[in-house]
Amino acid sequence: MTATQGLLWLMALIALGFCLKRSASTAIRAGRDGAHSLMRVLPLFTVALPMAAFLAELVPADIAEGWLGPESGLQGILIASVAGGFIPGGPFVSFPLVLTFTKAGAGVPQMAALVTGWAIYGVHRVIAWEVPVLGWRFVAIRMLAGLVLPVLTGLGVAWVLPWFPGALVRP
């Protein structure tokens, strides 16, 4: 168990403690609610994780230089933003991918756009979580509100990069 997981469990136990202080039945309801959610999401995880792992095997590393290199400019930022949205899985997939792309020659603004695209569009997260929990209409509102943010991040990074010379220096 990692430190973060420990922190999460600590918070969960504190919250459960507060439930128990209120009444035993409140704590039982909380536990039952958690178990109910778990039963709902476990099937999704058993199909989502192998999907993410297979897609990671398929992404070719050598497309980075040409499509996402420092010379690719605004076009590279656009490609990276959209590609970021289709990276399946959590940070354990996206950040190692950024590292792989960087080693293969991708530019810093393009990689910042990729991370932002992953965080904002995150198609797999929309399908697995946001639509079931909040509905298509909410997703449409959120997507419209955040549509330009990945591209804006890429352009912003290109602008401030001279002040951060050590960012993503190739090993």
Partner 1 sequence: MLARAAQLGRVPALIRQNLAFVLLLAIGIAAAIATYELRGAAAFRHAMESAGETFVFILPSLVGGLLLAGALKQLVPAGALAKWMGAEAGLRGLVIATLAGMATPGGPMAAFPLVLVLAQAGADRGALVAFIFAWSLNGFQRLLIYEVPLLGTEFAMMRVLLTLPMPILAGWLSRLIPIRWQPPK
| Residue ranges in 45-84 that form contacts with partner 1 under rule CB under 8 A | 45-58
| Residue 119 beta carbon to partner 1: minimum distance, rounded to whole angstroms | 4
Residue 130 has φ and ψ, to the nearest 5°, of -70, -40
Closer residue to partner 1, CB minimum distance, 50 or 66: 50
CB proximity list for 67: less than 8 A, separation 6 or greater: 76, 79
> How far apart, in whole angstroms, are the C-alpha atoms of residue 107 and residue 170?
10
Segment lying near partner 1 (by CB under 8 A), choices 63-71, 76-84, 95-103: 95-103
> How far apart, in whole angstroms, are the C-alpha atoms of residue 1 and residue 171?
30
* Helix, coil or strand: residue 23: coil
- Count of residues near partner 1 by CB under 8 A: 91
Segment lying near partner 1 (by CB under 8 A), choices 63-71, 74-82, 146-154: 146-154
Closer residue to partner 1, CB minimum distance, 74 or 152: 152
| Residue 75 beta carbon to partner 1: minimum distance, rounded to whole angstroms | 20
> How far apart, in whole angstroms, are the C-alpha atoms of residue 82 and residue 79?
5
Question: Residue 90 carries which DSSP code?
Answer: S
> How far apart, in whole angstroms, are the C-alpha atoms of residue 116 and residue 84?
7
Q: Is 103 in the site for partner 1 (CB under 8 A)?
A: no
Query: By CB under 8 A, what part of segment 107-136 binds partner 1?
Result: 108, 111-112, 115-116, 119-120, 122, 124-125, 127-135
